[in-house]
C-alpha cells in the first residue's frame, strides 16, 4: 500500500476530509421523489434549472450517442480499430517489450490501473494517476495537463516517455515493420503495408474512440425507461444538478466541461508540487489547473484526482462537500523545491483554488444519494 496514498504526503488533507464527514445533519428521502422522477422523465425544457454560476456555459445532461464521434482526418474503419486494439495490448511498442498501453489502462479497471500513480519502464513510478481512456472520443486536449492537442497526439507520448515505455515512435514502427502479421494488418487498415508513426497513432486513437459505456442505467433512464433508476438514484440526479453544484464542471453527455480547474491540490513549494496545465501553456493563471475528467464509468476508476489522492468515491464527495482545499501561502512557500527548483519562484503567483468550489452543506444521506447516482453512469 506504499504507493496508494504516498504515506504521510497527504496526512493533512486526509485529516481535513475526516472533519468534513459530519458537517451536516441527517436528511431523509424527499417526499416529492415521485414528482422528481416524473420531471426527469419529461422533456428537458421542463426540468428545474441547474444550480451553476453565471460564468458557466453549461449543457444539459444527456444520454450518450450510439456511436462515438470521429474526426474527418481519421475516420472509423473496423480494420483500423482492430489494428489499434492489437497495438494497445501489445508490449512490442516499449523498449523492454514488457509495457503496453493496457499496462496502465486495464480493461477490468475501467481502462485505468487502480494505482495512485503508475509503474512504467524498470518499475519507475510516474507522478500522476493514469486517467481512464473511456470517453476518449470526447473532448480536445488530452492528459491531466492538456499537453496533447488530440487523441492521435496522445497515443505517441507514452511510447517516448522515459518513465513509461522508454522507447520512441520511430523505433517502434521499425520494429513493427519486421512483423509480417502487422504489415498485413496495416495494409488492410490503410491500403498499403507502409508503417508510419502517423498510422500507428491513428490506429490506436481509432480503437480508443470506441471505448465508451454501453447502455448505462442513466442512459436507459434518459431514453424513457422509468425504473432504470431507483428513488435514491433519482434523488442523486437531482442533487447533482442542484444543491451539489456538480454541473459547474460536469455536464452534457460526457459529464465533463473539457476544461481545466484548480482544486487546491498543487502542493505548491513542496516535494510533490505539480503545477499542471501551467507546464503546457506557460500562463500563470493556469498554475495548479488539471483537466476535468468525465464521470462516465467513474465507479470503476478509483483512485481519484490527478495524484490518486482518494481511494474511494465517498472521500471525493466529502471533500467537495467541504468546498475542496484552499491552501494559503506560508513563510516557506517560496522555497525552490520539487520540480520547479530551476525557476524563479518570485515570478510565479501563488495558485488560487477555483472560485466555483464552495461548501455545499450536503447531509450524509444526500452524499449517499449522490454517490448512488454516480454509480449509474
326 is in an annotated binding site: no
Q: At which residue does the C-alpha cell 523505433 appear? A: 171
246 is in an annotated binding site: yes
Give every CB contact of residue 72 below 8 A, 6+ residues apart in sequence: none
In the chain, where do the E strands start and end?
Answer: 260-261, 290-291
250 is in an annotated binding site: yes
Question: Of all helices (H) and strands (E), which one includes residue 151?
Answer: helix 151-160
324: left (phi over 0), alpha (psi -120 to 50) or beta: left
261 is in an annotated binding site: no
Beta-bridge mates of residue 119: 125
19 is in an annotated binding site: no
Give every CB contact of residue 309 below 8 A, 6+ residues apart in sequence: 5, 10, 13, 116, 265, 303
Residue 50 CA to residue 43 CA, distance in Å, equals 15
Cα–Cα distances in Å, from 235 out to 2, 37, 232, 296, 374?
Answer: 37, 8, 5, 18, 11
Closest by Cα among 266, 259, 269 to 305: 266
Residue 126 CA to residue 178 CA, distance in Å, equals 31
Per the annotation, binding residues for heme c are 101, 104-105, 121, 246, 249-250
Q: Which residues are annotated as a binding site?
A: 101, 104-105, 121, 246, 249-250
Amino acid at each position: 500500500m506504499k504507493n496508494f496514498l504516498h504515506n504521510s504526503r497527504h496526512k493533512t488533507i486526509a485529516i481535513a476530509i475526516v472533519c468534513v464527514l459530519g458537517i451536516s445533519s441527517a436528511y431523509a428521502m424527499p417526499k416529492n421523489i415521485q414528482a422528481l422522477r416524473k420531471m426527469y422523465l419529461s422533456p428537458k425544457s421542463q426540468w428545474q434549472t441547474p444550480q451553476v454560476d453565471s460564468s458557466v456555459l453549461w449543457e444539459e445532461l444527456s444520454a450518450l450517442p450510439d456511436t462515438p464521434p470521429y474526426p474527418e482526418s481519421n475516420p472509423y474503419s473496423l480494420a483500423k480499430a482492430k489494428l489499434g486494439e492489437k497495438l494497445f495490448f501489445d508490449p512490442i511498442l516499449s523498449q523492454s517489450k514488457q509495457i503496453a498501453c493496457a499496462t496502465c489502462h486495464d480493461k477490468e479497471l475501467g481502462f485505468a490501473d487502480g494505482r495512485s500513480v503508475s509503474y512504467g519502464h524498470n518499475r519507475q513510478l510516474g507522478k500522476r494517476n493514469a486517467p481512464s481512456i473511456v470517453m476518449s472520443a470526447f473532448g480536445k486536449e488530452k492528459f491531466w495537463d492538456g499537453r496533447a492537442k488530440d487523441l492521435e497526439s496522445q497515443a505517441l507520448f507514452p511510447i517516448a516517455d522515459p518513465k513509461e515505455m522508454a522507447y520512441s515512435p520511430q523505433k517502434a514502427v521499425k520494429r513493427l515493420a519486421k512483423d509480417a502479421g502487422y504489415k498485413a494488418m496495416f495494409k488492410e487498415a490503410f491500403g498499403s503495408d507502409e508503417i508510419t508513426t502517423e498510422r500507428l497513432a491513428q490506429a490506436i486513437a481509432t480503437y480508443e474512440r470506441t471505448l465508451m459505456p454501453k447502455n448505462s442505467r442513466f442512459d436507459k433512464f434518459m431514453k424513457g425507461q422509468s425504473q432504470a433508476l431507483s428513488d435514491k438514484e433519482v434523488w442523486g440526479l437531482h442533487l447533482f444538478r442542484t444543491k451539489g453544484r456538480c454541473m459547474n464542471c460536469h455536464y452534457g453527455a460526457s459529464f465533463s466541461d473539457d476544461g481545466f480547474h484548480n482544486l487546491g491540490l498543487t502542493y505548491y513549494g513542496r516535494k510533490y508540487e505539480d503545477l499542471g496545465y501551467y507546464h503546457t501553456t506557460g500562463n500563470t493563471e493556469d498554475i495548479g489547473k488539471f483537466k476535468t475528467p468525465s464521470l462516465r464509468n467513474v465507479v470503476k476508476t478509483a483512485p481519484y484526482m490527478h495524484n490518486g489522492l482518494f481511494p474511494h468515491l465517498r472521500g471525493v464527495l466529502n471533500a467537495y462537500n467541504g468546498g475542496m482545499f484552499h491552501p494559503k501561502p506560508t513563510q516557506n512557500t517560496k522555497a525552490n523545491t520539487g520540480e520547479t527548483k530551476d525557476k524563479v519562484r518570485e515570478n510565479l503567483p501563488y495558485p488560487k483554488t477555483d472560485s466555483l468550489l464552495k461548501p455545499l452543506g450536503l447531509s450524509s444521506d444526500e452524499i449517499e444519494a449522490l454517490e448512488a447516482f454516480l454509480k449509474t453512469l
